Amino acid sequence: MLGPTLIFDKSVLQSLNTDEAVMLDNFYTSVLTPVFFVECLADLEKEMRSKSTPEQLVVSLAEKTPDGCRANVHHLDILRSELQGHFKLPTVLGRPCVGEGHYIQLGDQKGAIFEQSQEQNALYRWMKHEFLQAERDIARWWRRSLTSIDLDAMSSSVRKELGPHLRKPKTLEDARAMTDVLIDNTDPEWLTRFGLEILGVPEASDYVINKWISNRRPPLRDYLPYFIFALSINIFFCLILPTQLLRNVKPSHHVDLAYLYYLPFCSIFTSKDNFHVQIVPLFLNGTQTFVNGNDFKEELKRLVDLFSALPASEFDRGLHHFAQYPPLDTSFLTTRLWDTYLPRWRSTGPPKILDEKMQKAMKDMLKIFDESENAPGAPPSLDQLNYSSALKVIVLPCGVAPQNQPQAQCTFSLPASLSILAAGVKAEWHSASAPALTPSAPQDSVQQDRQGVFHDRYNRFRHDRRCHRLGRSSHQPSFRSNRPAHRRRPRLRSL
């Protein structure tokens, strides 16, 4: 059973040991943001004070990143989808939006296949100490660009546009309230052009405004909720920069701020960064939870201590047996979070193990998928799909995998989130180029091998949990589209 959706920043993952990272992977569905991915990559050019190398630091982060994570698409892709009417924020709250999908036709039935993101493929490559030269160049450029950010100039220009006589907020809560007042009492057409300019898509202004007018000028909060959410983050930040409400403001806070763009796609956000501790709760809705990174680490440590004390006979059966669900004791934060976001878990019975007949049928279906063709015409809605499939690369345990075990193959290339940085140019606006986001049900999570107290016993059941219990082969075929790359349209969905 999937745990609550959670976004963590790099500060949290760095603080965890390998056993705590196993607990994170086991009890939560982690959402991997592009900001986290780029932050990790930037460490390739970090000046180390210890004896370890920057490559070792990045490898350590990649190894501790939950294997069952979902890579969220870039916030600008989501914004462009909403501007063109392909994305409805209220329908996907609390769930990540993932890409790499395409629609297929199998006989008279239509389905969707969602391939593993290039960000996740890159993480697997980093675990093997393999880094592309382009990634090293981007890491170098990223660190240089942080030193060139002029926060004062950015704040001054925004405040000048909003009004030269704006008062300074007295508290962070006051700044948040001022942001809402400015958005709700500003001319919608001017606000749209201004917002698209500072969010980086000014080329969409005429298209969006004409479409808004043709829809009888509805309130922007209802018509473009994600646009308003992203815009409020930027206005808020510019309001507090000239004040002393945030101490020791650094250019890197501009990066920390980008995590907030992904808040709608999780139920829980955790960070040890003081900036996030102060700011994030102001942008969460009533159903979301912020957990201080120090408290979260302590919670994972408690879980490690609890399960480490089990008898060997129980421990040897693996996490899927003794840690499928959190402890019944509500003193555990994880238990309370499950009660909040997955209240039916207490009445859920043990998972059903598929018999050999059903496993064979599923394997045959995977082979049939290879023979499918791209679905003609416009992509159907999720309700019209007959089936969907999500591909996953299975990373076999290091050092304990059978020598003759077939390895899942994948082609590595530069992730889209890095390609944007490498190109250094904005995407050209076109009404037919925005990816369409469609909601879908979550997929079964998988676990990642770790070193530590769970290492030896964890490896024994890890492969079985992925393949035997889910009825899947460890070597899944590649379902890449036969359509030429330049004719493919990126498809996004939310889990």
Alpha carbon distance 327, 336 (integer Å): 10
pLDDT at 120: 72
Per-residue pLDDT at 192 exceeds 60: yes
Asked whether residue 158 falls in the same domain as residue 199, the answer is yes
Say which amino acid occupies 332.
Answer: F
Asked whether residue 154 falls in the same domain as residue 202, the answer is yes
Per-residue pLDDT at 55 exceeds 60: yes
Asked whether residue 155 falls in the same domain as residue 132, the answer is no
Q: How confident is the model at residue 378 (pLDDT cuts 50, 70, 90)?
A: low
Query: For residue 265, is it within any domain?
Result: no
Q: Which residues 6+ apart lie within 8 Å of 492 measured at CB?
A: 73, 77, 78, 81, 87, 97, 98, 99, 101, 435, 436, 437, 438
Query: For residue 310, is it within any domain?
Result: yes
Per-residue pLDDT at 117 exceeds 80: no
Query: For residue 106, is it within any domain?
Result: no
Per-residue pLDDT at 439 exceeds 80: no
Residue 16 · residue 298 · CB < 8 Å: no
Asked whether residue 230 falls in the same domain as residue 184, the answer is yes
Asked whether residue 342 falls in the same domain as residue 201, the answer is no
Q: Between 18 and 364, whose confidence is greater?
A: 18
**Residue 127: domain span:** 5-101+116-149+271-350+393-494
Q: Of 66-80, 156-170, 384-398, 440-454, which range is least confident?
A: 440-454
Query: For residue 244, is it within any domain?
Result: yes
Alpha carbon distance 275, 256 (integer Å): 8
Q: Of 61-75, 286-300, 396-410, which range is least confident?
A: 396-410
The angle at the Cα of 191, spanning 187 to 194, to the nearest 5 degrees, equals 145
Q: Of 118-122, 172-176, 250-254, 430-434, which range is least confident?
A: 430-434
Q: According to DSSP H, which parts of 148-250 are helical?
A: 151-162, 172-184, 188-199, 205-214, 220-223, 225-240
Alpha carbon distance 190, 209 (integer Å): 10
Tell me the average pLDDT across 139-151: 65
Asked whether residue 227 falls in the same domain as residue 287, the answer is no
303's enclosing H/E stretch is: helix 293-308
Say which amino acid occupies 222.
Answer: D
Asked whether residue 280 falls in the same domain as residue 188, the answer is no
Q: Between 100 and 5, whose confidence is greater?
A: 5
Q: Of 49-58, 143-152, 169-178, 186-195, which range is least confident?
A: 143-152
Sign of CA dihedral 280, 286, 292, 293: negative
From 147, 146, 136, select the one nearest 422 (Cα to Cα).
136
First to last CA, the chain: 14
Cα–chain center distance at 129: 23
Would you state the structure tokens that stand for residue 365, as one six-digit string? 């279906």
Query: For residue 373, is it within any domain?
Result: no
Alpha carbon distance 79, 75 (integer Å): 6
Mean pLDDT rounded to a whole number for the chain: 75
Q: Give the best-scoring range by mean pLDDT among 68-82, 94-108, 476-490.
A: 68-82
Alpha carbon distance 37, 416 (integer Å): 11
Asked whether residue 143 falls in the same domain as residue 180, the answer is no
Asked whether residue 58 falls in the same domain as residue 73, the answer is yes
Per-residue pLDDT at 38 exceeds 80: yes
Judging by beta carbons within 10 Å of its beta carbon (0-12, 13-18, 19+), is residue 384 exposed, middle or buried? Answer: exposed
277's enclosing H/E stretch is: helix 274-279
Alpha carbon distance 278, 246 (integer Å): 9
Query: For residue 325, is it within any domain?
Result: yes
Asked whether residue 418 falls in the same domain as residue 290, the answer is yes
Asked whether residue 72 falls in the same domain as residue 217, the answer is no
Domain boundary among the residues 221, 250, 279 is at 250
Q: Of 22-31, 43-52, 80-89, which range is least confident?
A: 43-52
Domain boundary among the residues 250, 280, 315 is at 250
Strand segments, DSSP code E, in 228-348 are: 268-271, 289-292
pLDDT at 174: 96
Alpha carbon distance 336, 59 (integer Å): 33
Query: For residue 135, is it within any domain?
Result: yes
Would you state the structure tokens that stand for residue 46, as one six-digit string? 């970090």
* Domains contained in the chain, number: 2
Asked whether residue 50 falls in the same domain as residue 140, the answer is yes
| R_g over Cα of the chain | 23
From 86, 85, 84, select the one nearest 99 (Cα to Cα).
86
Residue 41 · residue 58 · CB < 8 Å: yes
From 68, 33, 142, 134, select the one nearest 466 (Cα to Cα).
68
Own/partner long-range contacts of 409-413 (Cβ < 8 Å, ≥24 apart):
409/478, 410/116, 410/121, 410/124, 410/478, 412/118, 412/121, 412/122, 412/125, 412/130, 412/132, 413/118, 413/121
User: How large is the greatest C-alpha to C-alpha distance in the chain, in angstroms?
Assistant: 73
Q: Of 208-212, 305-309, 310-314, 437-441, which range is least confident?
A: 437-441
Query: For residue 335, is it within any domain?
Result: yes
Rounded to two decimals, the pTM is 0.76
pLDDT at 248: 74
Domain boundary among the residues 250, 285, 316 is at 250
Residue 353 · residue 29 · CB < 8 Å: no
Alpha carbon distance 61, 38 (integer Å): 12
